Structure 1
């Protein structure tokens, strides 16, 4: 008796299980008693901006429209269905993958369905020839999604399924440029490498007109800050929470905390601190350049550049692999950069007021195709979005190392300079530098002329620079035993080993050399900073100081035929 009861219960279970497993949403119109008719092509389901595949997390517009321009319908339902996959907890059954969210675009015409998941239906049974709703694509890894539509002309005549009213779309597996390639955890390159990395801004009113700040002098980029590091170190990556340092960079374009956080990890997964000067009004498109070193342990590079003003948006690339699978260093790569969201501020536009995100969210791509009209990305697809910047990574040279050398202990002293200015090479032993093609001591220098200056090995090959000259004496006013003023120093653009614009009366070649506008924009050749020294506050000293300063100015000579560079030659106390 008990066995019969068990068999009946088991039979009922399999019937119910089969019905639940094959359950499908009933999209029948309210009050309809007749079965659906076969679609005749007069109504069509369309996905606006559809390019054969969907971009994860992208917001799309789904449309039902009459193809003949005259037909109308009263009811509809649009549903999203995910592909079936084996249940990881029970491989004998299947579960549906997440299909994304369907949501109304206009609450007067559409509402969430209370009959079906991931569906919207008509809000009123009025005649209409077209309807639009939003579909938020699922995150990556959810495979294909089927969008289905039901269209009802009246209670007795309605259509569903069929090619005009059903479409299956799968994830676009192509990745934007700034999504990192697969990591090479088994990097076996013994030689070390030196790379040049440059960032060029593209953000402007012409390229990104939607919601661009009204005052053109406000937008700017933060300094580019980054690291060359090992696979165990993470500065930032999608899906994780940002540090206070990266929060400051993303929200305020302030890099101080982030630099401190990186310096604390030198020797613990970090080899080189990367930093390059940020640019603002009238210089947004000027390149910023830095140099960094890599080895078989520290073969990844991560950088970040803040956008200001913005809620918490930044550009960059994370854990970018330089050690290729064939165990050679990547020669060169150019990457288009698109905004990331740090997850700390919920503003929707560049100049939104601070709205702290609580609890803090993880790093993610800034939402594209936003349905908020205040967003710079309102109804803009990622594939149609102009990049906000471009990153160029180039291999400069390699340094031979034997594979048995303990490179792990040979950490580089990190550079905190805004641009590569002085030779700040690794503390690890290096082979002698090969002769630079910019050094040519055999060129005639004239009687008593100065020899060509050595190029700074950290400057680029396209735009070689001399090393910085010594700082000038601190010049200013002595007040209360302290001299508060400024000191300055110079360096020179090199062309064929000749220091252009450096005065040498015997060097007839210098005045004939020209430096490209690109190189002048890339490197500063003059630097000034505040200084403070002890001094004696008496008239004799002041007279002597003034006399020395006067004589120094008199001795300063200018090349005939060249412009007077007042910003370098005038009193260091002059503001410019």
Structure 2
């Protein structure tokens, strides 16, 4: 099946499942949350629009950028609103079976069952949301959702396609401060490794991690392996690979169009959109190990010459370091002269 049609088919099925799950969860009431967590005291629910924007470009991420089979793209977004006693996923914790299947294959059925079970068991899930897949590294997806005072947290996950088990997302963003709802939140997103597959590159074959590792953030130097598709040792940190903007919707259902301003609660400053579009990550040339020295060629009794070679593994990009010499020679004395 065409991968694009497959993605759209999965997205459509997830939307139907979301509607069903949302209707099941609306009647749930949250259990008491821990007293050491600031309580939301708003007397009304709030609605938000969510805009996810991919920033996965060949200029910002030139190393092994996926061009085809399949090209760089984003899976369906799966998220939920919940209370503080539930987590869809957490950094430095083990991924659930549902998160594992979604991060590795983009399959959300097990994850939805886990969310449904949590809603019935501890009554911490208020609503489920989804947004359609993006066929392209820089596309955009949108959706809307509702939060309540007892369920003021948002979590979501989006799979990086293709990848072994990599994803982006947010864990428990609180949209309530005291008795009022935040007008807007803008967060830069960075890649995470689910800890269930040991592949280093976007197109790595399935190689299960045994024993399972914890969810970790991928950085420019971690995992520290030259084969890693996100390994850029010259960078202090990776550029953001995506961005999410949450905007409170007015009661008239008109979306507030005010610009998003950085706040203390935002995880990272967003910067200027024009500047963000011009990110060029330098990619240094990478070459193979030297071959063994070749035969010594020359006349008997005189010094000869022998050669060794290496080849280019990765061509430089964006003013990265140029490739070194690919051939060397040295003097030698011929063996086995008659």
2:214 alignment counterpart:
362
Contact kept, 8 Å, 1:253 with 1:307, in 2: the verdict is: no
Matched, 1:350 2:227: no
1:260 alignment counterpart:
113
Alignment of 1:148-159 (within 5 A): none
Alignment of 1:229-240 (within 5 A): 229-240=82-93
Q: What is the CA distance between 1:214 and its match in structure 2?
A: 4.3
Q: Judging changes above 3 Å, is the alpha-carbon distance between structure 1 residues 381 and 254 closer, same or farther for their aligned structure 2 residues?
A: farther
Q: Deviations over 1:205-259 (max 9, x none)?
A: 2221112124275322110101000011111111221112211221122223223
Q: Judging changes above 3 Å, is the alpha-carbon distance between structure 1 residues 323 and 253 closer, same or farther for their aligned structure 2 residues?
A: same
Contact kept, 8 Å, 1:223 with 1:278, in 2: the verdict is: yes
1:273 aligned to which of 114, 120, 128:
128
Q: Deviations over 1:487-521 (max 9, x none)?
A: xxxxxxxxxxxxxxxxxxxxxxxxxxxxxxxxxxx
Contact kept, 8 Å, 1:201 with 1:287, in 2: the verdict is: yes
Q: What is the CA distance between 1:460 and its match in structure 2?
A: 5.5
d(CA) in 2 for partners of 1:274, 1:381:
38
Q: What is the CA distance between 1:287 and its match in structure 2?
A: 1.8
2:190 alignment counterpart:
338
2:68 aligned to which of 215, 230, 238:
215
Q: Judging changes above 3 Å, is the alpha-carbon distance between structure 1 residues 330 and 248 closer, same or farther for their aligned structure 2 residues?
A: same
Contact kept, 8 Å, 2:220 with 2:236, in 1: the verdict is: no
Q: What is the CA distance between 1:382 and its match in structure 2?
A: 6.7
Contact kept, 8 Å, 2:103 with 2:167, in 1: the verdict is: yes
Q: What is the CA distance between 1:461 and its match in structure 2?
A: 7.2
Secondary structure at the aligned position of 1:264 is classed as: helix
Q: Judging changes above 3 Å, is the alpha-carbon distance between structure 1 residues 396 and 383 closer, same or farther for their aligned structure 2 residues?
A: farther
Q: What is the CA distance between 1:185 and its match in structure 2?
A: 3.1
Q: Deviations over 1:294-335 (max 9, x none)?
A: 1111010001000011111100010111112x4321110111
Matched, 1:296 2:142: no
Normalising by structure 1, what TM-score?
A: 0.36
d(CA) in 1 for partners of 2:55, 2:208:
28
Contact kept, 8 Å, 1:245 with 1:256, in 2: the verdict is: yes
Contact kept, 8 Å, 1:184 with 1:321, in 2: the verdict is: no
1:311 alignment counterpart:
164
Q: Judging changes above 3 Å, is the alpha-carbon distance between structure 1 residues 304 and 191 closer, same or farther for their aligned structure 2 residues?
A: same
Q: Deviations over 1:389-425 (max 9, x none)?
A: 1101111136xxxxxxxxxxxxxxxxxxxxxxxxxxx
d(CA) in 2 for partners of 1:313, 1:257:
18
Q: What is the CA distance between 1:342 and its match in structure 2?
A: 0.6
Q: Judging changes above 3 Å, is the alpha-carbon distance between structure 1 residues 237 and 289 closer, same or farther for their aligned structure 2 residues?
A: same
1:196 alignment counterpart:
49
Uncovered stretches (5+) of structure 2, i.e. residues with no partner: 1-35, 258-338
d(CA) in 2 for partners of 1:207, 1:389:
11
Q: Deviations over 1:541-560 (max 9, x none)?
A: xxxxxxxxxxxxxxxxxxxx
Higher relative contact order (CA 8 A, sep 6+): 2
d(CA) in 2 for partners of 1:217, 1:351:
9
Q: Judging changes above 3 Å, is the alpha-carbon distance between structure 1 residues 348 and 248 closer, same or farther for their aligned structure 2 residues?
A: same
d(CA) in 1 for partners of 2:207, 2:48:
39
Secondary structure at the aligned position of 1:320 is classed as: strand
d(CA) in 2 for partners of 1:319, 1:310:
24
Q: Judging changes above 3 Å, is the alpha-carbon distance between structure 1 residues 396 and 270 closer, same or farther for their aligned structure 2 residues?
A: same
The structure with the largest alpha-carbon Rg is: 1
Normalising by structure 2, what TM-score?
A: 0.60
Q: Judging changes above 3 Å, is the alpha-carbon distance between structure 1 residues 189 and 460 closer, same or farther for their aligned structure 2 residues?
A: closer
Secondary structure at the aligned position of 2:127 is classed as: strand
d(CA) in 1 for partners of 2:199, 2:46:
41
Q: What is the CA distance between 1:204 and its match in structure 2?
A: 2.4
Q: CA RMSD in A?
A: 2.3
Q: What is the CA distance between 1:184 and its match in structure 2?
A: 4.6
d(CA) in 1 for partners of 2:247, 2:108:
24
Q: Judging changes above 3 Å, is the alpha-carbon distance between structure 1 residues 321 and 461 closer, same or farther for their aligned structure 2 residues?
A: closer
d(CA) in 2 for partners of 1:277, 1:212:
22
1:495 alignment counterpart:
none
Alignment of 1:333-482 (within 5 A): 333-370=185-222, 371-380=224-233, 383-397=236-250
Q: Judging changes above 3 Å, is the alpha-carbon distance between structure 1 residues 323 and 380 closer, same or farther for their aligned structure 2 residues?
A: farther
